[in-house]
């Protein structure tokens, strides 16, 4: 697809500054864009990148537009309310997604007794759909998927290759589960029984008899694992987005519209409010609650409840303002250590002088 700056601007009824007739062939990131690409810049933090960019056209905010003099416009500017959203729309025009295939239920898929499929659903070859499974409309189940007995899938569900759903898992509408994700595994529950006289024993498995409920509009990344509840359900709330390589243990209850980056790990019975965000490699101890709207920065270890709308980081995780003060102080430790040694030397010298001035008769 090729178009002009003017035609792109017309989609948003947007103001244009610069060459309206410039031909645009593609959409690219700001540091990769060339003379016939469009990119976006949404805030002053990207202005330095924009001034170095070779992009032919840029979606900019009204605030950024007002900061450019006419003789200093680096590219053709398309002034919109939300540059990021405009860019994502343009990207989809230049990079059309592959059309959804319509293959129906492949004869090379195994389908168990009592399983039902909604309208316009695709089941690819080499999938295994167990007995009494309910699959909604417009679903896509790709090769290598295993769906256990009595699972329920809503409408518009996508299970990418090699996804595994253990028995009794419930999946809502418009859920996307990426390759090699495993949902409904047994939780890590054991008790140490049969103590011998030496005080040692063996681990006995606690039966994991619950399930997993995934609400509408959830997306789960590749190689993520979600354990089933011990008695009730492990729950993933509506609209939550989970990255690759995330671990959600048994009995966790995740709120709505949470977002977890790669390698986040939740121990058993963690609960979260809505709009909670965890950056990469955050670890959360069992039975901890993360309050609505809170943010946990990367590589933090969380051992206690986090208040609503607070940002924490570090190990153990502390309020961001406290951690920044600690980090600032820690950076000064070598200097403080040198000063302390100098003070110790000075005190020793002063003490020695003072003692030399005191006669033996006046000493206590």
CA distance 139 to 101: 11
Backbone angles phi, psi at 219, to 5 degrees: -125, 130
Tell me which residue of 79, 91, 92, 10 sits closest to 41, measured CA to CA. 79
Active site residue 250: yes
CA distance 106 to 124: 5
DSSP string, 254-306: E-TT-EE-TT-EE-TT-EE-SS-EE-TT-EE-TT-EEPTT-EE-TT-EE-S-B
CA distance 355 to 138: 92
CA distance 14 to 85: 13
Look at residue 154 and give its three-state secondary structure. coil
CA distance 311 to 317: 9
Task: Determine which one of 124, 160, 213, 250 is catalytic.
Answer: 250
Q: How far apart are the first and last CA of the chain?
A: 96
For 220, the token pair is 């789960």
CA distance 186 to 180: 17
CB 157 within 8 A of CB 175: yes
Burial class for 252, CB neighbours closer than 10 Å (0-12, 13-18, 19+):
buried
Cα 230 to Cα 168, 187, 208, 350: the distances in Å are 13, 7, 4, 69
Active site residues: 250
């Amino acid at each position: 697809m090729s178009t002009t700056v003017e035609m792109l601007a017309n989609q948003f009824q947007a103001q244009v500054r610069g060459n309206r007739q410039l031909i645009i062939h593609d959409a690219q990131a700001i540091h990769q864009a060339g003379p016939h690409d469009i990119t976006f810049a949404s805030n002053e933090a990207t202005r330095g990148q924009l001034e170095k960019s070779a992009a032919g056209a840029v979606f900019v905010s009204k605030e950024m537009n007002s900061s450019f003099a006419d003789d200093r416009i680096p590219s053709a500017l398309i002034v919109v309310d939300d540059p990021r959203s405009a860019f994502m729309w343009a990207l989809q025009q230049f990079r059309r997604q592959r059309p959804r295939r319509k293959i129906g239920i492949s004869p090379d898929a195994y389908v168990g007794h009592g399983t039902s499929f909604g309208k316009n659903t695709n089941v690819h070859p080499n999938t295994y759909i167990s007995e009494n499974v309910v699959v909604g409309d417009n679903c896509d189940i790709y090769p290598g998927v295993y769906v256990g007995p009595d699972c329920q899938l809503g409408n518009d569900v996508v299970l990418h290759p090699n996804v595994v759903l253990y028995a009794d898992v419930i999946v809502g509408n418009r859920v996307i589960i990426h390759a090699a994700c495993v949902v409904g595994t047994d939780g890590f529950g054991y008790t140490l029984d049969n103590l011998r006289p030496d005080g040692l024993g063996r681990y006995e498995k606690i039966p994991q008899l619950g399930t997993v409920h995934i609400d509408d509009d959830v997306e789960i990344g590749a190689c993520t694992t979600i354990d089933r509840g011990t008695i009730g359900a492990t729950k993933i709330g509506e609209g939550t987005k989970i990255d690759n390589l995330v671990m959600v243990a048994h009995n966790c209850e995740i709120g709505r519209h949470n977002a977890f980056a790669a390698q986040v790990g939740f121990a058993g019975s963690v609960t979260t409010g809505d709009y909670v965000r965890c950056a990469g490699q955050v670890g959360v101890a069992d039975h901890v609650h993360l309050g609505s709207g809170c943010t946990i920065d990367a590589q933090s270890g969380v051992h206690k409840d986090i208040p609503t709308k607070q940002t924490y980081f570090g190990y153990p995780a502390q309020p961001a303002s406290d951690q920044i003060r600690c980090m600032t102080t820690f950076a000064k430790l070598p200097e403080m250590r040198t000063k302390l040694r100098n003070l110790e030397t000075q005190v020793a010298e002063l003490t020695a002088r003072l003692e030399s001035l005191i006669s033996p008769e006046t000493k206590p």
